[in-house]
Structure 1
Amino acid sequence: MKPKLSQWKELLAARHQPKAAAGELEAEAGECRAADVPFAEQWRQCGVVPHSFAGDYCLVRETVYPLDHEHGRYRLGAFYEVHRRWQEAPFSHPLSCRGFAVGDLFFFDTETMGLSSGAGNVMFLLGHARFAGDCVIVRQHFLPHPGAEVALYQSFLSDVNYTTLVTYNGKAFDWPRLKTRHALVRDMVPKLPAFGHFDLYHAARRLWKGRLDSLRLAEVERHILGVKRNDDVPGFLAPMMYQAFLQTPHPDRIMPVLRHNEQDVLSLIVLYIHLSIQLLDANQLTDPGEQLAAARWLETVGETAAARGVYEQAGAGQAKEAHMAKWQLSLLYRKEKRYDEAAALWRDLLECGVYWKMKAGLELAKAYEHYFRDLDEAHRYAAAAYEAWRSLARASRQAADGEEREWRKRLERLMRKKNRPGK
């Protein structure tokens, strides 16, 4: 209780101090006076200044980082090299910043009172970072009390002149909630800009959903980016800490949340760097799972030439992912009607276990029936694939009558075609 009583004593003193003592703060914040801001001096010592608008205020904190600042595995300045490489990349991709200037990307994260999008769940902190020449500027707009949203969004939107958001699950969470809150005050503040959007959550999910138990940003930081946070507050405590701050609005009560948000924003920068490298250097990745996932992603977005090269590299290894890489590459060859190359991969896969004997044997049976026109080989591969299927069905005890009929129908058709006169 003693610290809490001490903070209230400071609050009462701040509310009753003479207006004349507020001159310095008025110079910094326009309309806002020291008497309007509880613990104004403590905020100033934390690098936080008030932003006044429409008879109320929000609080703004700015932190500047040099480009050689290391956050986990990367220097922040590595973004410049990634940006340059995207401009020269031989393929396009949804994560590519080709055509954007470095300063166009806007790394954005929020803190809210809850996960739902209801009107009662205010966003009390809007944090973002941008590159400005030889530094990174992190700026945070903080809501000192729920009635100050007009000042908060006027401050935020007056500061935002970027063209592309970079978030973590921002498409589903941060930006829709910001739009909901903005709608309540839209007649008094600037319009929301029309942003492009890089949502890094979806990229992380494509690459690491089979590797990580959770894809929360904290887990990606720990296991992928090498970020170690000391004395950090867990994100789920932020709403409770904000509630406590509203009762006693001392900076000490909420600064840990601001520092947490600041680290989140920096993590977005290094996560974008790392994901970009995963794609730009996919041929050289040492983790076969990541290499296979990168190749699949390239194929999904239509970059089959780039995907083919990565599949070829991944298929040359000995890990189990090499079998899947060969399989995916064979399907690409089949789509391009390169049946000789596809068949060579399928024959390799025949030796990789019962499952692949079934999958590859069936594709070989189809190819020899319809493309190579060799019914004897088609029947031989179909029979081998059928036996492999039966073995798997017995092991799993999930044999389906419909599947059984399809296999037998294929074999019977091939046998009839083989025995047809003139064949």
Structure 2
Amino acid sequence: MKPKLAQWKELLAARHQKENDEEKEEEKPDGRPVTDVPYADVWREYGAKPYWFDGDYCLIRETVYPLDYQHGRYRLGALYEVHERWQEAPFSHPLSCRGFAVRDLFFFDTETMGLSSGAGNIMFLLGHARVLGDRIVVRQHVLPHPGAEAALYQSFLSDVDYTTLVTYNGKAFDWPRLKTRHALVRNMVPKLPAFGHFDLYHAARRLWKDKLDSLRLSEVERHILHVERGDDVPGFLAPMMYKEFLQTPHPDRLMPVLRHNERDVLSLIALYIHLSVQLLEADRLADPKELLAAARWFEAIGETAAARGVYEEASGKGAKEAQAAKWQLSLLYRKEKRYEEAALLWRDLLIHGNGYWKAKAGLELAKVYEHYFRDAAEAHRYAVMAYEAWRSLARMSRQHREKEEAEWRRRLARLERKKNG
């Protein structure tokens, strides 16, 4: 019996030591065991642990994905490929990650209690994803109750570099609300860093505002990224589900929202990959609308060479966008004093375009023949053609445009005198 009793004592001592070790893993800074995290064991099963700060806590949940994880039409590891291509791109762009490492990019999305920036609309979930070596890590900072914001922002700001955030409408939504909430605890947590990041909403609007009826992330996912959410909860239900969680703080009440947010940040990675491919291969886009939109974006940021190449490609498409592309390309040529090439495009629009393009192209031909080619007769001929197209449009619109009419008549009279003088 004595040997057996000694063996049992050893087993009990080992078990007691193990329990002590597990308890110490989740202690508050003052050494007191964690006893006031409701359903802590369930949170642990979902990959979430408490983060203690200033006598309170938030929850941090971490999920890991392999690089070959397929989200819609892209492997998430393709981020490495577009990152390498951006380093060698012959143009600069607001979405370029040149100079950054892949691990520097933080794909960030929030869940809030409301759309306004009022003091009552707290941010209860801050989620972000990073590509770290051979894996994608999604980390979510959860506010367990409204009084724990100091712990929430301490945990988040000690982990994230805001200068390289990738968001969807973060400039107008997430960032202003984050500033509002941070202001309430700013004396207790780190300062907000200087703001600067990639906002994919503005990129989507640039490329697809004429293609999609709605630019909500869910619509971009469905129509562009081919992401199917399945049983995912809609985002507008998140505030209601959080309120229910506050009443009964069981993790199962909030996990659908965490999974929704998790998919959002994965979609940001896939969307950044797709937008990068769209821009890096802009002259090979099949959709004329996307071709024209990409060219206009390049032109707007001063990347004239890139814009010219895409306009040239778009102008060869058999679609109505081809006429707009020819027009934009002609204006680039005019700016570069390549008048002969611009005139070729204007003549094409005058012959093959509708009334709108005939009026615009004819007017430009009248100007270039008067001031550059010094041929008043041709200038007068083109002005007459443009004027007739303009009058036809004015009659159809049933608007009396006395000022424009007077300008056309003065131009025609001046060219008539030059032609005969």
- Give runs of aligned pairs for residues 308-323 of structure 1, distance below 5 A: 308-323=308-323
Runs (5+) with no aligned partner, structure 1: 1-19
Q: CA RMSD in A?
A: 1.5
Hey, what's the Cα distance between the residues in 2 that align with 1:150 and 1:75? 36
- Give runs of aligned pairs for residues 58-207 of structure 1, distance below 5 A: 58-161=58-161, 163-207=163-207
User: What letter corresponds to residue 171 of structure 1 in structure 2?
Assistant: K
- Assess if the C-alpha contact under 8 Å between 1:279 and 1:294 holds in 2: yes
Tell me the residue number matched to 1:377.
Answer: 378
Q: Deviations over 1:323-347 (max 9, x none)?
A: 1000000000000000000000011
Give me the identity figure in percent.
Answer: 78
Q: Give the drift of 1:194.
A: 2.4
Q: Give the drift of 1:161.
A: 4.3
Q: Give the drift of 1:349.
A: 0.7
Hey, what's the Cα distance between the residues in 2 that align with 1:29 and 1:73? 44
Tell me the residue number matched to 1:11.
Answer: none
- Assess if the C-alpha contact under 8 Å between 2:110 and 2:125 holds in 1: yes
Does the C-alpha gap of structure 1 residues 412 and 337 become closer, same or farther in structure 2, counting only changes over 3 Å? same
Tell me the residue number matched to 2:22.
Answer: 24
Hey, what's the Cα distance between the residues in 1 that align with 2:81 and 2:390? 50
Hey, what's the Cα distance between the residues in 1 that align with 2:37 and 2:367? 76
Q: Give the drift of 1:52.
A: 1.1
The worse-fitting range, judged by mean Cα deviation, of 171-180 and 290-299 is 171-180
Tell me the residue number matched to 1:419.
Answer: 420
- Assess if the C-alpha contact under 8 Å between 2:315 and 2:321 holds in 1: yes
User: What letter corresponds to residue 24 of structure 1 in structure 2?
Assistant: E
- Assess if the C-alpha contact under 8 Å between 2:28 and 2:34 holds in 1: no
Runs (5+) with no aligned partner, structure 2: 1-17
- Give runs of aligned pairs for residues 192-341 of structure 1, distance below 5 A: 192-341=192-341
Hey, what's the Cα distance between the residues in 2 that align with 1:252 and 1:21? 26
The worse-fitting range, judged by mean Cα deviation, of 223-232 and 162-171 is 162-171
Secondary structure in 2 aligned to 1:299? Answer: helix
Hey, what's the Cα distance between the residues in 1 that align with 2:196 and 2:24? 37
Tell me the residue number matched to 1:364.
Answer: 365
Instruction: List structure 1 segments (4+ residues) > 6 angstroms apart after TM superposition.
Output: 20-23
Q: Give the drift of 1:30.
A: 4.3
- Assess if the C-alpha contact under 8 Å between 1:57 and 1:148 holds in 2: yes
Q: Give the drift of 1:229.
A: 0.3
- Assess if the C-alpha contact under 8 Å between 1:29 and 1:49 holds in 2: no
Hey, what's the Cα distance between the residues in 1 that align with 2:114 and 2:233? 16
- Structure-1-length-normalised TM-score: 0.92
- Assess if the C-alpha contact under 8 Å between 2:26 and 2:34 holds in 1: no
Secondary structure in 1 aligned to 2:170? Answer: coil
Q: Give the drift of 1:34.
A: 4.0
Hey, what's the Cα distance between the residues in 2 that align with 1:121 and 1:276? 34
Q: Give the drift of 1:35.
A: 1.8
Hey, what's the Cα distance between the residues in 1 that align with 2:414 and 2:245? 76
Q: Give the drift of 1:410.
A: 0.8
Q: Deviations over 1:346-400 (max 9, x none)?
A: 1111122222111111100000000001111101100001111111111121231
Q: Deviations over 1:96-140 (max 9, x none)?
A: 111111111111110111111111111100000111001111000
Secondary structure in 1 aligned to 2:223? Answer: helix
Q: Give the drift of 1:25.
A: 4.9
- Assess if the C-alpha contact under 8 Å between 2:363 and 2:386 holds in 1: yes
User: What letter corresponds to residue 49 of structure 2 in structure 1?
Assistant: V
- Assess if the C-alpha contact under 8 Å between 2:111 and 2:125 holds in 1: yes
User: What letter corresponds to residue 258 of structure 1 in structure 2?
Assistant: L
Secondary structure in 2 aligned to 1:171? Answer: helix
- Structure-2-length-normalised TM-score: 0.93
Secondary structure in 1 aligned to 2:184? Answer: helix
Does the C-alpha gap of structure 1 residues 38 and 354 become closer, same or farther in structure 2, counting only changes over 3 Å? same
Q: Deviations over 1:288-334 (max 9, x none)?
A: 00010000000000000110011001101111101100000000000
Hey, what's the Cα distance between the residues in 1 that align with 2:249 and 2:325? 57
Secondary structure in 2 aligned to 1:77? Answer: helix
Q: Give the drift of 1:163.
A: 3.9
- Assess if the C-alpha contact under 8 Å between 2:26 and 2:33 holds in 1: no
* 1:344 maps to 2:344: yes
Tell me the residue number matched to 1:57.
Answer: 57
Tell me the residue number matched to 2:387.
Answer: 386
Hey, what's the Cα distance between the residues in 2 that align with 1:66 and 1:134? 7
Does the C-alpha gap of structure 1 residues 187 and 129 become closer, same or farther in structure 2, counting only changes over 3 Å? same
- Assess if the C-alpha contact under 8 Å between 1:104 and 1:162 holds in 2: no
Alignment: residue pair count = 401
User: What letter corresponds to residue 22 of structure 2 in structure 1?
Assistant: E
